[in-house]
Amino acid sequence: MGIINFKQKYALLRTVFILLAISFSNVVLAQIPRQFIEISVVPDQADWTYKIGQNVEFSISITQSGVPISVENARYVVMEEKMEPIREGKLNLKEGKATLDKFSMKDPGFLRCEVYATVYGKEYKGIGTAAFEPDKIKPTVKMPKDFEEFWEEGKKELSKIPMDYKMIHLPEKSSEHVDVYHVSFQNVRNSRIYGILSVPKAGGKYPAILSVPGAGIRPYSGEISKAMRGAITLQIGIHGIPVDMPTEVYNNLMSGALNGYWNFNNSDKDLYYYKRVYLGCVRAVDFLVSLSQFDGKNLAVQGGSQGGALAITTAALDSRIKYLAAVYPALSDLTGYLNGRAGGWPHVFGSQNIKYYNRPEVIETLAYYDVVNFARILKTPGFYTWGFNDETCPPTSYYSAYNEIKASKEIFVVPETGHWTYQEQGKKIEDWLFEKLSR
């Protein structure tokens, strides 16, 4: 094999990233590959956490293959996450290193330093985010007076609909230890929920895990490894379409009919897209508890991003869920942007969307779907993990929800992670779930 030049190496890395993204699209967690040029931005406290008024110093290094390199056109931006810059300018590096100091915050939140450098015609980015008393972040979203009544009415509507479940055995995915099925069951609005069910073949009763999806539209292959470990698993999609079609079908829907689905009907609390979704997750619980192989008591839900939101909302709506695991939950404190700070994904009131959606009826509708309000009524023990460098689901938003949870909760923070995780985080989640479910 000949020597790979930079362009070839970049193309190879890009291909690897795409393949990893496709591979991880069927699971909760994903880990990004390393870049050709690494930009490290690290706050000077070991846990990246500070007191209000305390100064933070960011240490910056730019390396290739672990060796510092000189870059003439590096620049930096420091801001409260998702807000306007506090300070920005050219970064003066010495042997690939620099420091930026004396930044602070007056209120609880997150202060982010972004560093950019162009090498071989490609711009690279590194970020580091300091947390200022994150456990004191308060939500901005208000709880509707009839919040619980609204969802009780929705569940009553759902309970009147026959489940009408269908199961298709998938021999190509099954093994001597696990049976795998493509399943569907009836949901509200004459729709269906589809998913992949994995059931241990050995006789006996088993706990169950519901896996709820991150944002997007994609096929699913099931949580077979957890079934091998001794749990019934159900991995669902939320869009009312089969989850075993060619990827091209989902890509076309994402670019076409379902593009921006998270904003569909967001001015009407009864017609908003996520009402069918939230109730569909409850119907998935109905299906799991109906299985003869279910042990009748040990049921968990897990998910990341949009799935992290769905894990919390499903557990809050359905007391049959005994445990939950959520990673960087989306749909949290959506009104943050209207109060001078970051709001949660899908950034309905962010700078790109505010001119379309900053209306009283949208604000009112989203309050019924904001994870913060479900966190306020949550009674289910949970395990949570995330980092401070998340640009998709700002940590300000999910701490707004997390701090409202009165139920038993455990947290594993890995500060440098963004909208991705280390394998160790995934292992901690799975071990925590199985330890709880085996009781």
pLDDT above 70 coverage of the chain, percent: 92
- How far is Cα 271 from Cα 348, in angstroms, rounded to an integer? 17
Q: For position 70, what pLDDT does the model report?
A: 84
Contact 315, 324 (CB under 8 A): yes
CA 341 and chain centroid, separation? 20
Q: Is this model's pTM higher than 0.75 or not?
A: yes
Helical ranges in 61-202 per DSSP H? 147-159
- The position carrying tokens 């069927």 is 26
Read off the DSSP letter of residue 62.
E
- How far is Cα 401 from Cα 372, in angstroms, rounded to an integer? 4
Instruction: Tell me the CATH number for domain 34-134.
Output: 2.60.40.1930
Q: Which two tokens stand for residue 68?
A: 């510092």
Q: For position 4, what pLDDT does the model report?
A: 36
Please determine, for residue 56, whether its predicted confidence score (pLDDT) is greater than 70: yes
Across 5-19, 322-336, 339-353, least confident range: 5-19
- How far is Cα 123 from Cα 264, in angstroms, rounded to an integer? 35
For CA atoms 373, 325, 251, 253, give the dihedral sign.
Answer: negative
Closest by alpha carbon to 321, among 284, 361, 292, 280?
284
- Residues of CATH 2.60.40.1930 domain(s) within the chain? 34-134
Closest by alpha carbon to 187, among 230, 148, 155, 218?
155
Q: For position 31, what pLDDT does the model report?
A: 67
For residue 329, say if its preceding peptide bond is cis, omega within 30 degrees of 0.
no
Average pLDDT along the chain: 93
Pairing mode of beta strands 85-90, 75-80: antiparallel
* Rounded mean pLDDT, 326-339: 98
Please determine, for residue 2, whether its predicted confidence score (pLDDT) is greater than 60: no
pLDDT tens, 231-245? 999 999 999 999 999
Distances, alpha carbon 144 to alpha carbons 139, 199, 362, in Å = 14, 40, 13
CATH architecture type of domain 147-437: 3-Layer(aba) Sandwich (3.40)
Across 28-37, 296-305, 313-322, 422-431, least confident range: 28-37
Q: Which two tokens stand for residue 29?
A: 């967690």
User: Which DSSP string corresponds to 77-102?
Assistant: EEEETTS-EEEEEE---BTTEEEEEE
* 3-class DSSP state of 34: coil
pLDDT tens, 57-88? 999 999 999 999 988 899 999 999 999 999 99
SS (H, E, C) 339-356: HCCCCCCCCCCCCCCHHH
- How far is Cα 428 from Cα 439, in angstroms, rounded to an integer? 17
* Rounded mean pLDDT, 362-377: 98
Q: What confidence category does residue 203 fall into, taking pLDDT thresholds of 50, 70 and 90?
A: confident
* Rounded mean pLDDT, 309-330: 98
Q: For position 35, what pLDDT does the model report?
A: 85
Helical ranges in 88-207 per DSSP H? 147-159
- How far is Cα 397 from Cα 376, in angstroms, rounded to an integer? 14
Q: For position 90, what pLDDT does the model report?
A: 96
Closest by alpha carbon to 127, among 423, 420, 352, 417?
417
Q: Determine how many CB atoms are found less than 10 A away from the CB of residue 356.
A: 12
- How far is Cα 333 from Cα 345, in angstroms, rounded to an integer? 9
Q: For position 27, what pLDDT does the model report?
A: 39
- Residues of CATH 3.40.50.1820 domain(s) within the chain? 147-437
Please determine, for residue 51, whether its predicted confidence score (pLDDT) is greater than 90: yes
Q: For position 30, what pLDDT does the model report?
A: 60
pLDDT tens, 254-267? 999 999 999 999 99
- How far is Cα 179 from Cα 173, in angstroms, rounded to an integer? 8
Q: What confidence category does residue 23 fall into, taking pLDDT thresholds of 50, 70 and 90?
A: very low
CA 256 and chain centroid, separation? 23
Which of the residues are catalytic?
Answer: 305, 390, 419
Q: For position 72, what pLDDT does the model report?
A: 81
pLDDT tens, 114-169? 999 999 889 999 999 999 999 999 999 999 999 999 999 999 999 999 999 999 99
Q: Determine how many CB atoms are found less than 10 A away from the CB of residue 432.
A: 20
